[in-house]
């Protein structure tokens, strides 16, 4: 295992020390750009630092280079432990027995590597769990002359083609991603994928590439340090996706917290920006058919999705802006704010009824939680019941048993809670019946699928048989094509056409060259004592009512029949002569 310790050195350099098998194999000071080969050379597993903030501030170039490595390096902040931050000199004295009041940068780097290899420190997040895949042009087309437009089209086509292949691989791997296309003068100049997976996983499917005109870069996005989310606060998000993505953030009371529009805003960046206000409970859009970006954002954040019954008009959006009295800078912010407030209006009556009937027994956090449950489809009674359970599980109660008169306010609260639980029980009974009905439907569906699978396998077997038959027919067709071409090439000198009516039923004594349809072999012709030739011996192909006759084959077969007939006559004479000699 290789460990690299790094510390900030004067002159914008980084002091480094490489620890391999508990021994320092290399150390020194270098520019951050030149340290990337060091990580590849030793296949570094751990990067040890004393302050992650200093690394982001002074070693930004190194962070960028680490994000492009083919593997992920574990980063350890050595000075941070369970009890808080401690000085490097204190840790060196405690774990290594080295007493120094001040360490030089190279010494600090060496001791940081040793301490990290001993398990001292806390792993920190250097990169987001996102990978950027960038397809971009490498050469400027500003001085392209008369061929500039043609060159731009070629580069644009190359970028789109490569981006389409990458998108296909990501879909095949079932990796979640956002895609941003950048255009200039109607031509695509870059394609940016934000893939929500580790860099090592993404590089299995997408490899970096550099050509003369186009390049593909695969790297991790450095971690962003936003504010801590407000606990227990749920939000309504209005989103208008596009080249510029508009975002509006509302509380569940309809209060506008912020609106913003940014270019190429990924879902990860959006959620990290929202995180400083709270947790999304509802994601809204201003069109009836939600864009894919909004659907994925809702699923990624665990929020419900809202879309109006019809697309919102410009007049409706302007009316909402006048009502909320919030000034937006762009139309993207306006559309996002209109979508968010429209979603709030959809639930406002239920929220007001919840506060009116149960505001006295629920704290602010429980009210927020109950509203979030209502957005998810819970009834008011169900939401209140869950909120009360949440409070009971989070709080520790001390119960004093005393004999006193009943408290009307307490009894009223318990009665309200009882009614809510009774109502919840009724709703659960209805849900149970609905689930039973759905279960029956699913069982029927499974049985249908089993039958379809059997039919599918039967069809697959049938298709395989037909494919084999088709292959055999195609091979036969190729053979016939070759034979037919040979006939065409030699037609007139070697082959002739013979009508079926010219084929003779040979009985014996037919002249040479006669084509016999009822004789199939030379032996049969000799037996019938005919000079006619068997049709199967000389016919190369049948075309409708015609046979293609091989003239050379006719001559050869005729000659063989004649030789056999002549040989048969000579033998007969010998027999007669021998017979006569015997009588004498």
Residues 6+ apart with CB under 8 A from 467: none
Q: Which helix (H) or strand (E) holds 234?
A: strand 234-240
Determine what percent of the chain is predicted with pLDDT higher than 90: 18
pLDDT tens digits, 282-308: 999 999 999 999 999 999 888 999 999
| pLDDT at residue 227 tops 50 | no
What pTM value is reported for the model?
0.54
For the domain made up of 2-124, the CATH class stated in words is alpha beta
User: For the residues of 169-196, what is the DSSP string, one character each?
Assistant: HHHHTT--EEEEEEEETTEEEEEEEEES
The CA distances from residue 583 to 146, 266, 412, 459, 579, in Å, are: 115, 121, 149, 81, 7
Give CB contacts under 8 A, 24+ apart, made by 53-56. Answer: 54/8, 55/6, 56/222, 56/225
What is the pLDDT at residue 403? 35
Between 231 and 84, the higher pLDDT residue: 84
The predicted model gives 161-175 an average pLDDT of 90
pLDDT tens digits, 331-367: 999 999 999 999 999 999 999 999 888 888 888 888 8
| pLDDT at residue 57 tops 80 | no
DSSP code, position 546: E
Radius of gyration of the chain (CA): 44
- Does domain 234-358 bear CATH number 3.30.420.10? yes
At 226, the pLDDT band (50, 70, 90 cuts) reads: very low
Domains 2-124 and 234-358 share a fold: yes
The predicted model gives 181-193 an average pLDDT of 85
| pLDDT at residue 440 tops 90 | no
Across 91-208, the runs of DSSP E, i.e. the strands, are 122-124, 127-137, 177-184, 187-195
**Mean of all residue pLDDT scores within the chain:** 82
The predicted model gives 99-111 an average pLDDT of 84
Residue with tokens 């079926």: 500
Give the domain ranges of the chain: 2-124, 129-222, 234-358, 410-479, 495-583
Arch. (CATH architecture) of 129-222: 2-Layer Sandwich (3.30)
| pLDDT at residue 402 tops 50 | no
Q: Which helix (H) or strand (E) holds 40?
A: helix 36-42
Helix (H/G/I), strand (E/B), else coil: 160: helix
Give the integer Cα–Cα distance in Å for 526 and 524: 5
Residue with tokens 């870069």: 217
What is the pLDDT at residue 232? 52
- Structure tokens that stand for 83 in this block: 């009890």
Nearest to 392 by CA among 434, 421, 372: 421
What is the pLDDT at residue 432? 84
Helix (H/G/I), strand (E/B), else coil: 250: strand
DSSP code, position 532: P
Give CB contacts under 8 A, 24+ apart, made by 86-91. Answer: 88/50, 88/112, 91/115, 91/120
At 245, the pLDDT band (50, 70, 90 cuts) reads: very high
What is the pLDDT at residue 550? 87
At 113, the pLDDT band (50, 70, 90 cuts) reads: confident
Give the integer Cα–Cα distance in Å for 87 and 534: 109
Give the integer Cα–Cα distance in Å for 176 and 181: 17
Helices 331-358, 380-394: inter-axial angle, 10-degree rounding: 80
| pLDDT at residue 152 tops 90 | no
Q: For residue 512, count other CB atoms closer than 10 A to its CB.
A: 15
Helices 364-375, 331-358: inter-axial angle, 10-degree rounding: 120
Residues 6+ apart with CB under 8 A from 343: 236, 238, 282, 284, 306
| pLDDT at residue 201 tops 60 | yes
């Amino acid at each position: 295992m290789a460990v690299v310790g790094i510390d900030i050195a004067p002159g914008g350099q980084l002091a480094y020390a490489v620890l391999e098998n508990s021994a320092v194999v290399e150390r020194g000071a270098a520019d951050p750009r030149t340290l990337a080969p060091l990580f590849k050379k030793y296949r570094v597993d751990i990067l040890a630092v004393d302050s992650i903030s200093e690394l982001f501030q002074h070693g930004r170039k190194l962070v960028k280079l680490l994000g492009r490595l083919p593997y992920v390096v574990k980063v350890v902040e050595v000075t941070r432990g369970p009890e808080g931050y401690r000085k490097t000199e204190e840790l060196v004295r405690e774990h290594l027995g080295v007493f120094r009041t001040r360490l030089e940068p190279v010494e600090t780097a060496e001791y940081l590597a040793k301490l990290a290899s001993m398990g001292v420190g806390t792993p920190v997040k250097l990169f987001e769990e996102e990978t950027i895949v960038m397809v971009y042009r490498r050469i400027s087309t500003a001085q392209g002359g008369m061929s500039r437009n043609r060159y731009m089209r070629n580069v644009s086509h190359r970028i789109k083609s490569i981006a389409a292949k990458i998108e296909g691989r990501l879909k095949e791997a079932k990796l979640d991603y956002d895609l941003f296309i950048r255009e200039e003068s109607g031509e695509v100049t870059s394609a940016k994928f934000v893939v929500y997976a580790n860099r090592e996983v993404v590089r299995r499917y997408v490899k970096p590439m550099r050509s003369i005109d186009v390049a593909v870069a695969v790297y991790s996005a450095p971690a962003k340090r936003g504010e801590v989310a407000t606990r227990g606060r749920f939000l309504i998000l209005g989103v208008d996706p596009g080249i510029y993505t508009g975002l509006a953030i509302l509380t569940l009371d309809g209060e506008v917290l912020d609106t913003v529009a940014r270019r190429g805003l990924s879902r990860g960046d959006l959620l990290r920006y929202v995180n400083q206000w709270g947790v999304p409970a509802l994601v809204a859009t201003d069109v009836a058919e939600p864009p894919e970006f909004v659907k994925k954002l809702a699923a990624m954040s665990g929020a419900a999705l809202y879309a109006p019954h019809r697309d919102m008009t410009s007049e409706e959006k302007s009316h909402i802006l006048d009502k909320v009295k919030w000034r937006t800078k762009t139309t993207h912010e306006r559309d996002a704010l209109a979508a968010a407030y429209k979603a709030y209006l959809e639930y406002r009556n239920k929220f007001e009824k919840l506060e009116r009937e149960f505001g006295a027994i629920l704290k602010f956090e429980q009210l927020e939680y109950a509203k979030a449950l209502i957005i998810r489809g819970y009834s008011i009674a169900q939401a209140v019941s869950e909120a009360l359970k949440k409070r009971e599980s989070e709080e520790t109660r001390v119960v004093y048993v005393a004999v006193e008169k009943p408290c009307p306010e307490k009894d009223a609260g318990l009665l309200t809670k009882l009614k809510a639980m009774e109502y919840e029980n009724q709703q659960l009974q209805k849900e149970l019946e609905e689930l039973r009905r759905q279960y029956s439907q699913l069982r029927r569906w499974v049985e249908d699928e089993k039958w379809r699978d059997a039919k599918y396998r039967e069809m697959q077997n049938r298709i395989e048989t037909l494919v084999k038959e088709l292959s055999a027919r195609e091979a036969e067709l190729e053979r016939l094509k070759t034979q037919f071409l040979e006939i065409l090439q030699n037609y007139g000198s070697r082959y002739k056409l013979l009508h079926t009516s010219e084929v003779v039923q040979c009985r014996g004594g037919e002249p040479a060259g006669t084509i016999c349809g009822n004789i199939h072999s030379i032996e049969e012709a000799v037996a019938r004592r005919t000079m006619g030739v068997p049709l199967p011996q000389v016919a190369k192909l049948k075309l409708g009512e015609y046979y293609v006759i091989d003239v050379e084959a006719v001559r050869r077969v005729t000659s063989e029949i004649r030789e056999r007939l002549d040989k048969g006559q000579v033998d007969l004479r010998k027999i007669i002569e021998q017979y006569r000699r015997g009588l004498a």
